[in-house]
Structure 1
Amino acid sequence: MIKRIGFWVAIAAAWGIAWWTKQAFGIPDYVMWIGFVAIIGALSTFSLENRMTAVEERVIRKDYSGIVAQLEGERHKPQHKQPASLAAGGAIVSRVRPQHERLFEDFRWFAALMNRHIADEWAIEELPITDVRGYDGPEIGRMYDVWYNACKVGRMQVTLGAGALLSKEKERSARVDLKLNYLRFIPYRDAHSLLYEIGLLTGSYDRTSGEAFRARAASAATDALTGYLWEAVRQPDLDPWFDFMTEGSYGVLHDQVEHWRKNGIDPMTRWGGDRDNRSDD
């Protein structure tokens, strides 16, 4: 209200000065009216630009204070809701093949293993869903919510790798798709630990070159985060989603699952599928 009154007072004062100038220098009326209209147009344009800028800031430059507070909040403890079977999770029974069943069984403790090795702030929580999304239609696999402290930041799913259904060999092949939001607010080392662990567990592991395999997993994580950083800097007004995909024979995951099975360890019941007592392997 005060700004509005001040605005009209300024216009009245300007009009008074203009009228005095007209009388003092004998300026014609039409010149005064042209000048008056020009001044009003300039003021209107200035006001409109300010309003548009304010709207753009509200739309594009969102207030992320609430999200940041969740990201810095107390860590979410995963509450796994594992499906009892592919059919129980919603997969179309007529489409289920032996390769799907094997993948489903091999990844039964994937979330538990992830939670034991990624940065403490993360939590991978399995969902009771086996009817997941594919590029060409529905797929079959496992699905997970991804949390960073108190904020649910995305989802991850596991499906068969490319060509797995056509292969006559009993080779393991899995594809992991990860989609995250708000990654720009998460520390680099934490983000890298998540991608590195996914690549380490699900990549094509060669026991004869363990160091090279770990280096490839680390490099893939670095490359993905570098690409995301580039886009975030290139378009600073946007908050781009982060997409990450990796595919492999998941040798490290398979070896760890077999180790737990042989020793009668069920991480879902023993540790709640979380990171408690990590040294007790």
Structure 2
Amino acid sequence: MIKKIGIGVAIAAAWGIAWAAKEAFAIPDYAMWLGIIAVVGVLASFNIESRLSAIEERVIRKDYSGIIAQLEGERHKPQHKQPESLAAGGAIASRIRPQHESLFEDFRWFAALMNRHIADEWAIEELPTTDVQGYEGPEIGRMYDVWYNACEVGRMQVALGAGALLSKEKQRSARVELKLNYLRFIPYRDAHSLLYEIGLLTGSFDRTNGEAFRATAASAATDALTGYLWEAVRQPDLDPWFDFMAEGPYDVLHDQVEHWRKNGIDPMTRWGGDRDGGADI
């Protein structure tokens, strides 16, 4: 109400000043009316532009307060729903090859190992499906939900690496793909820990130079986050998805799974596939 009264007083004052100027300088009536129309047009244009900007702000810049509250909420404890077999998870039986079976078995504790080493806020939760998405259609592998505290932020999947079905030597090869949303609201160190661990578990481990191996995984994570940051700054009105892919013979994962097997440790039953593991690794 006070604002409206103030606007009315300002208009009345402006009208009085204009009328006094007209009398003092003998300005013709038509010139006064043209001036008034021009001023009204400018004010109307400014008002319309302000309203359009407010509407655009509400449409383009979404309200993320609810998402941020979930990201800062209590951590989600993973509830794994591991498929008993590739066929039970939805894979077409006629398409299953020995390489698929080996990959399925080798990655049976992938989520458990991830949960043990990534930042505390993350949770990787395996899904019951084995029918994953490939470049040109359905593929066979394992699928996971990715949580950051109380917010489900994306998906991760494992499938055979390029050329794995054609390799005569039957060399191990896996492709891990990650797709995340809301990454801009997640601290850099936490995001880096997730990508670094994927690269570490997926890559080719050089036992003679472990530092170089870890540096390569760290560099890949840094490069991916830098690229995402660039696009987020370049197009601030968009909320881009984050995509990350790592591929390799997963030496570290394979060695850890073999260690657990030899020692009779099943991290899914002993620790629920989560981070409680003590010194058994």
Q: TM-score range by the shorter chain?
A: over 0.9
> Which residue in 2 is equivalent to 1:205?
205
Residue identity opposite 1:235 in structure 2? Q
Instruction: Measure how far apart 1:207 and its partner are.
Output: 2.4
Residue identity opposite 1:62 in structure 2? K
The reply to whether residue 217 of structure 1 matches residue 222 of structure 2 is: no
Instruction: Measure how far apart 1:93 and its partner are.
Output: 2.1
Query: Is the 1:116–1:278 Cα contact (8 Å) retained in structure 2?
Result: no
Partners of 1:163 and 1:110 in 2: how far apart?
22
Residue identity opposite 2:185 in structure 1? F
Query: Is the 1:192–1:222 Cα contact (8 Å) retained in structure 2?
Result: yes
TM-score by length of 2: 0.93
> Which residue in 2 is equivalent to 1:167?
167
1:68-83 paired onto structure 2 within 5 Å: 68-83=68-83
Partners of 1:225 and 1:127 in 2: how far apart?
26
The reply to whether residue 93 of structure 1 matches residue 93 of structure 2 is: yes
Residue identity opposite 1:81 in structure 2? K
Partners of 1:93 and 1:37 in 2: how far apart?
77
> Which residue in 2 is equivalent to 1:142?
142
Deviations 1:200-258 (A, max 9, x none): 11112232332221121111111111222222222233322211111000011111111
Deviations 1:20-77 (A, max 9, x none): 4434543222212211110111001110121122122222333322222221211110
Residue identity opposite 1:53 in structure 2? S
Partners of 2:170 and 2:135 in 1: how far apart?
24
Residue identity opposite 1:221 in structure 2? A
1:237-256 paired onto structure 2 within 5 Å: 237-256=237-256
Change (3 A) 1:3 1:91: farther
Instruction: Measure how far apart 1:190 and its partner are.
Output: 1.3
Instruction: Measure how far apart 1:122 and its partner are.
Output: 0.8
Change (3 A) 1:165 1:221: same
Partners of 1:67 and 1:256 in 2: how far apart?
35
Partners of 2:45 and 2:115 in 1: how far apart?
56
Q: Runs (4+) of structure 1 moved beyond 3 Å?
A: 1-26
Instruction: Measure how far apart 1:5 and its partner are.
Output: 5.5
Would you say how many aligned residue pairs link Structure 1 and Structure 2? 281
The unaligned stretches of length 5 or more in structure 1 are none
Look up the SS of the partner of 1:208 in the other structure.
coil
Determine what percentage of the aligned residue pairs are the same residue.
Answer: 84
Instruction: Measure how far apart 1:10 and its partner are.
Output: 3.9
Query: Is the 1:267–1:273 Cα contact (8 Å) retained in structure 2?
Result: yes
1:238-277 paired onto structure 2 within 5 Å: 238-277=238-277
Residue identity opposite 1:124 in structure 2? I
Residue identity opposite 1:240 in structure 2? P
Look up the SS of the partner of 2:50 in the other structure.
helix
Partners of 1:244 and 1:231 in 2: how far apart?
14
Look up the SS of the partner of 1:27 in the other structure.
coil
Partners of 1:27 and 1:258 in 2: how far apart?
96
Deviations 1:144-170 (A, max 9, x none): 111111111111110110011111221
